[in-house]
């Protein structure tokens, strides 16, 4: 049993003073340090000292570990150019990201305070590394494929991977399902997959790029040539709205949604889906800026993800938050900073329906401690100062076990 | 005599292959490695190897070293709140930034490849540290003061500081002049200062914040109360346009200019002034985004500066470039990346009229070498990949002397 205290506690919603956390595998109590010390006098007492903050471990809900070998190989700035570079380099990159590569990515996330991540898996190659990860992992088995003739084979492969991860399920390994995107998955495959869901988290890329919009809405644009050449396909499989209708009744995590229009956002809001925002990935692939202010006004819940190293330079959510502050330069700095800390903790846990993300009794003891370089003058500025000054955490616990 | 070569050479304008640089204090020749090796067989030959790029040392034209002690003390998000926090903490911060503090700032800049910086000095306290810096320093003696009764005293103080720095002038220490801003310097003081310029670089803050605009144009807004309370002043000293007219005939460096309107931008373009863009500072002080695309279309030359640690978290121009890429998310990624490398090298040198910023014969040998973590697939992506992956340099020379 441990009691940990620091100058501040961020419980996932707000910053509190004079608080300590009693925990084993789970959080047993949150109270003043004095009360907990008196009541649990044989617990180990850890005081992280001034300028430190106890927070829930971060949740990175969208990462492609398979592309961890990429540094400078892919072409950035334009979605089609990037996609073509991915297709060209895909085998080489995936082949060169082996166990050591996955471990580097997992360790980088760990050092920065990510205690839960959602790995989107195309082939299941990173399964072993994810099972060995100290973190809680949501393992998104991804289905992709638009050829009608291949649906059965694709589904069988998907199911085999899904079942493999279902067998491995435990408190720290959560099998989940990903549908690649509206443009790349045949509606029949989507239906087969959805029929198979047993309450698993469900994710999909959605309206990431302007070319995706042009293709889905007008069967035109650079994707037309791409689909004709690669897949002998002349029309999109579905519209964005039809795709959303498939997902009705599920609470899905839709990644990107930069190009979702007003109607689509309303459908997303009505269905209670959540959007995963990946600002750096969007910028590097020439996809522009997700209108966060529109999501806020439509009351759509959004999270923050790093995406994979195929479209980013780090898997660090602090880096991502700093980039988000710059990209959304018109949004109020102080309140955006607080929102960012909420979306990587309580809001992400809520969307994933996991007992983490808040420092409260009964949740898993996924706890990080970060320390500022100096004393902030006001508590209103704390979220911002934490984001500006943090890259890695001081201490980190997952299910109460210390990893950093 | 040294010959240095690498896979690429960025000469300040473009990327070249199979080039080497022969240098002592100055750059003596740029040619193929083979030619230089044959011709200067007794020169030391340094091959920085694959994935490395030789570049001109970076120029950070706007930094306030005096605030180097700030980490978390100032309030960000709103210009007035920030200004009030500066006024409240000013003495304490300046007092606590002593020699060691300046040295940390200078060393941080050095490690990141900044071989020339423009230090805006309010009091002259950092003069000694700047004289001892390995870098080339443009020492901007700053004048500030709006009270008519104080003009003579302020001018005398300014002149004393300016003369002190003029006496210290050498190849690596360039005395210069800064007028704080249109709203804070009395026109008579401006005139006296301008009469005294002997070809020194001239800089001023200009139209940084929305409150500055409201005050200068309408004698209203939060600055009204501020000026009444602190300075017993009820009207602005000048309009922005009048201020620009004062500067006619000088090539000034105007820092920020986020709120400059179309007419003011036209005046700036006509006068040949240069704008120093400080994206992170602008964001942190709630000043918004400088419309770089407007500067480009008006053919106004712009540079990139970190500003001081009173409104930033690092003095690293790579960090600043990465932030600029995010903030200007609608601008073409590849061409913005190349522009950013130009503005911190050749364009800055051109604005400051210094024989640096380009790898060419006759220039001072201010040279940095940076190394990418892997092989980029295309040379068009090189500027971007360099910005995405670099924080500190591999080697650094100033006037041919190795410092890192």
Q: pLDDT tens-digit profile of A277-322? A: 999 999 999 999 999 999 999 999 999 999 999 999 999 999 999 9
Distance between CA atoms of residues A97 and B5, nearest Å: 32
- Residue B157: which residues within 8 A CB-CB, separation 6 or more? none
Chain A, nearest residue to B375 by Cα:
A72
Q: Is pLDDT of B110 > 90?
A: yes
Distance (Å, whole) CA A288 – CA A282: 6
Q: B313 to chain A: which residues are within 8 Å by CB?
A: 388-389
Question: Under CATH, what is the fold of the domain A59-352?
Answer: TIM Barrel (3.20.20)
Q: In a mutagenesis test of the B interface, which of A72, A324, A325, A330 is the best target, namely the one with the most B β-carbons within 10 Å? A: A72
Instruction: Decide if pLDDT at A25 tops 90.
Output: yes
Query: Is A286:A256 a contact under the CB 8 Å cutoff?
Result: no
Under CATH, what is the fold of the domain B58-352?
TIM Barrel (3.20.20)
| CB-closest option in A326, A373, A385 to B326 | A326
Instruction: Write out pLDDT tens, residues A36-86.
Output: 999 999 999 999 999 999 999 999 999 999 999 999 999 999 999 999 999
Which pair of tokens denotes residue A215?
Answer: 């293709």
Residues of chain A above pLDDT 90, percent: 96
C-beta atoms of B283 and A325 within 8 A: yes
Instruction: Show residues of chain B in contact with A327, CB under 8 Å.
Output: 326-327, 329
Cβ distance of A76 and B381 shorter than 8 Å: yes
Q: How many CB atoms lie within 10 A of CB B99?
A: 12
List the single residue in A with minimal CA-CA distance to B380.
A75
Q: Which of A66, A208, A212, A264 is catalytic?
A: A208
Task: State the smallest CA–CA distance between residue B305 and chain A in angstroms.
Answer: 16
A contacts of B76 (beta carbons < 8 Å): 333-334, 381, 384, 388
Candidates B208, B264, B320, B358; catalytic one: B208
Contact call for A333 and B76, based on CB within 8 A: yes
In chain B, where does the domain assigned CATH 3.20.20.140 lie?
58-352
pLDDT at residue A98 greater than cutoff 90: no
Do B303 and B348 touch, CB atoms closer than 8 A?
Answer: yes
- Which chain B residue has its CA at the smallest distance from A379's CA? B75
Cβ contact B289–A329 (<8 Å): yes
Structure tokens at A244: 């959303």
- pLDDT tens per residue, range A5-19: 999 999 999 999 999
Q: pLDDT of A158-216, one tens digit each?
A: 999 999 999 999 999 999 999 999 999 999 999 999 998 999 999 999 999 999 999 99
Q: Is the pLDDT of residue A376 over 90?
A: no
Which residue in chain B has the smallest CA separation from A333?
A: B77
Query: What is the overall mean pLDDT for chain B?
Result: 97
In chain A, ranges of CATH 3.20.20.140 domains: 59-352
CA-based nearest distance A83→chain B, Å? 14
pLDDT of residue A262: 97
Beta bridge partners of A118: A138
Closest CB from B72, B74, B385 relative to A72: B385
CA-to-CA distance for B287 and B311, rounded, in angstroms?
Answer: 11
Sheet holding A136-143, edge to edge: A58-63, A114-121, A136-143, A173-179, A202-206, A252-256, A274-277, A301-304
Q: Residue B223: enclosing H or E segment and its boundaries?
A: helix B222-231
Rounded-to-integer distance, Cα A99 and Cα B38, Å: 47
Strands A8-10, A52-56: parallel, antiparallel or unpaired by DSSP? parallel
Best residue in A326, A334, A336, A371 for a mutation probing chain B (most B CBs within 10 Å): A326
Residue range B2-56+356-402, CATH number: 2.30.40.10
Best of A73, A77, A92, A332 to disrupt the B interface (most B CBs within 10 Å) is: A77
**Residue A231: pLDDT band with limits 50, 70, 90:** confident
Question: Closest chain B residue to A85 measured between Cα atoms?
Answer: B377
- Is residue A151 packed enough to be buried (19+ CB in 10 Å), middle (13-18) or exposed (0-12)? buried
Q: Provide mean pLDDT across the span B37-63.
A: 98
Residues of chain B in contact with residue A322, where contact means CB-CB under 8 angstroms, are 323
Q: Is the dihedral of CA A203, A60, A279, A251 positive or negative?
A: positive
Whether B244 shows a pLDDT value over 90: the answer reads: yes
CATH 2.30.40.10 domain extents, chain B: 2-56+356-402
Cα–Cα distance measured from residue A2 to residue A322, given in angstroms and rounded to the nearest whole number = 32
pLDDT (0 to 100) of residue B230: 84
Residues A288, B329: C-beta atoms closer than 8 Å: yes
Dump pLDDT digits (tens) for B148-191.
Answer: 999 999 999 999 999 999 999 999 999 999 999 999 999 999 99
Closest to A109 (Cα-Cα) out of A169, A71, A68, A74: A68
Query: How many Å apart are CA A204 and CA A16, to the nearest integer?
Result: 36
ipTM: 0.97
Nearest CA of chain A to the CA of B333: how many Å? 5
**Which of B77, B326, B377 is opposite residue A327, by nearest beta carbon?**
B326
Our answer to whether residue A208 is catalytic in this structure is: yes
Residues of A with CB under 8 A from a CB of B: 71-78, 85, 89, 279-280, 282-284, 286, 288-289, 313, 322-323, 325-327, 329-330, 332-334, 372-378, 381, 384-385, 388-389
Contact B54, B48 (CB under 8 A): yes
Question: Read out DSSP for B69-121?
Answer: T-SS-S--SSHHHHHHHHHHHHHHHHHH--HHHHHHHHHHHHHHTEEEEEEEE
Above 90 in pLDDT, residue A249? yes
Best residue of B50, B68, B71 to probe chain A, by most A CBs closer than 10 Å: B71
Counted across chains A and B, CB pairs separated by less than 8 A come out at 111
| Total residue length of chain B | 404
Q: Under an 8 A CB cutoff, do A381 and B75 touch?
A: yes
Contacts of A334 in chain B (CB under 8 A): 76-77
What's the number of CA atoms in the CB half-sphere (13 Å) around residue A286?
A: 18
Q: Which residues of B touch A377 (CB under 8 A)?
A: 72-75, 85, 89
From the options 1.10.287.70, 2.60.120.10, 2.30.40.10, 3.40.630.40, give the CATH code of A2-56+358-402. Answer: 2.30.40.10
Please provide residue A378's backbone torsions phi and psi, each rounded to the nearest 5 degrees: -140, 145
DSSP 8-class letter at B170: B
CATH 2.30.40.10 boundaries in chain A? 2-56+358-402
């Amino acid at each position: 049993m441990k009691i940990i205290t620091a100058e501040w506690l961020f419980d996932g919603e707000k910053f509190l003073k004079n608080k300590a956390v009693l925990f084993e595998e789970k959080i047993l109590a949150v109270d003043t340090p004095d009360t907990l010390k008196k009541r649990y006098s044989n617990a180990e007492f850890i005081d992280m000292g001034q300028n430190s903050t106890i927070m829930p471990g971060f949740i990175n809900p969208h990462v492609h570990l398979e592309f961890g070998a990429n540094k400078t190989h892919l072409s950035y700035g334009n979605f089609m150019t990037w996609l073509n570079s991915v297709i060209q380099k895909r085998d080489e990159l995936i082949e060169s990201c082996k166990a050591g590569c996955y471990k580097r990515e997992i360790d980088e996330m760990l050092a920065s305070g990510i205690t839960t991540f959602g790995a989107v898996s195309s082939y299941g190659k990173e399964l072993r590394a994810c099972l060995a990860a100290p973190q809680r992992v949501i393992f998104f088995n991804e289905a992709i494929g638009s050829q009608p003739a291949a649906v059965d084979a694709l589904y069988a492969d998907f199911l085999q991977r899904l079942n493999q991860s279902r067998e491995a399920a435990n408190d720290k390994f959560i099998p989940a399902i990903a549908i690649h995107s509206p443009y790349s998955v045949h509606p029949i495959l989507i239906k087969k997959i959805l029929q198979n869901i047993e309450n698993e988290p469900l994710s999909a890329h959605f309206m990431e790029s302007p070319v995706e919009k042009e293709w889905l809405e007008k069967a035109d644009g650079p994707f037309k040539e791409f689909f004709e050449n690669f897949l002998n396909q002349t029309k999109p499989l579905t519209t964005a709205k039809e795709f959303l209708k498939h997902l009705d009744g599920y609470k899905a995590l839709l990644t990107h949604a930069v190009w979702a229009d007003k109607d689509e956002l309303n459908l997303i809001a009505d269905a209670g889906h959540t959007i995963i925002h990946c600002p750096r990935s969007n910028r590097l692939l020439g996809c522009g800026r997700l209108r966060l202010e529109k999501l806020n006004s439509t009351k759509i819940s959004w999270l923050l993800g790093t995406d994979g190293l195929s479209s980013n330079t780090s898997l660090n959510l602090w880096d991502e938050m700093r980039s988000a502050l710059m990209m959304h330069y018109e949004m109020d700095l102080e309140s955006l900073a607080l929102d960012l800390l909420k979306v990587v903790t309580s809001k992400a846990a809520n969307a994933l329906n996991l007992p983490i993300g808040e420092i409260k009794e009964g949740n898993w003891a996924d706890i990080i401690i970060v320390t500022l370089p100096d004393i902030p003058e006001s508590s209103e500025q704390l979220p911002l100062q934490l984001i500006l000054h943090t890259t890695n955490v001081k201490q980190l616990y997952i299910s109460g076990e210390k990893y950093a």
